[in-house]
Structure 1
Amino acid sequence: MGRNLQKGQNPSAVTSQAYVYTNGQTAGTANFPNGIANKGQYFAGFFANNGYTDIAPRKSFYVGPKVVLSTTSDVYPVGGTVTVNFTNGPNLTKDWIGIYKMGHTPGNVNSTQWSYVTTPAGTLNFTGLAKGYYYAQYFLEDGYTTVGEKVFFKVGHCNRTLDKQSGLYLRRKYFCFLDRFSGNHQRLVGNLSSEHQHSG
């Protein structure tokens, strides 16, 4: 039996959002034509014999709008205020926006700065960022599930302009490289100087 439940729910204690029986099939597709009415994080589970014993890994998914992030500039001065705008957010409990240095992976490395969001759309300001390349990203419910695309910016100026032909240069303590995939140009830049960590 396949069931859809909200993240964190115990299958034996709550009613699922939807379910279908597999009728003994060993492979196939389960469709839920009525969808799920409420935005949020959910998981699909595969259970044995009309019970609650998992017989396959659960699959997490999100239902809701796709957040759009933007910054007021691509480049900010050292000591300036970085303004991040967000629209079309799900506004779930403890959604947050984190600022990360390029090359840092959320969950593995602490954010440089972060702030909760409490509205579907709004503006957050971040100050005190050191020189370097950064991105902002929207996260769900105090965790590391992301919605929408990253938005990239830099603080201060690199020692020379990014070489878009070679995509790579190295000078002093910075290196910059350009990663291109699926038509989406993303600047992935690492700062080889000291790390700045912030809980979140």
Structure 2
Amino acid sequence: MSLTLSQRSWEWIKAQQDFHSTELAKQMDLSMKEVKRVIDHLTKKGAIKTINTNHKPHVYAAVRGVDFDFKRNVSGKQCQRQLIWQAMRWHGKFKIDEVVASSECTRASVLRYVNALVKYGYVKVMRPQWSPVKKQTSPKQVIYRLLLNTGHKYPVIRKNSLYDQNRKTDVKPVVKKDSSNAMD
């Protein structure tokens, strides 16, 4: 498993007494934009702190005694939905099993969220489980396509609507013309 940018940077930072952004950029071969993102992320997580703001660039140090954990917290529904949304955006055209593998969420959670997005017109069923034309002996895996990729934040499913965090709008359910069985 390859390390993320923050993980690679953290390994170097832990070994330093203190550092500044240009040292981190040089050691990790990063742009200053990437360094700023890493420093902001690690500061927000409480892994590093600013120890001198009088110097330009600022001087930072790892918070001693902190064993920073990079594992994602997938216990919350919002976090799971974000992971599912990111997996769907990455695949574009997908099967439920592909999203389950990419997002590391349960099949039931993925199915529930994808079917809700179908209801609101964000996702379309490209190939239903049962063909209306051909005679099948067994069901096929449903193939979906993400139609509305509005941004990195996941759409929030509400009781009677969907809230798109990227467009900051409420979306009403789409009226279906056909009633194909999309359950996987």
With the shorter chain as reference, the TM-score category is under 0.3
Provide the TM-score with structure 1 as the length reference: 0.22
Higher strand share: 1
- Whose Rg is larger? 2
Q: Which has the higher contact order (CA 8 A, sep 6+)?
A: 1
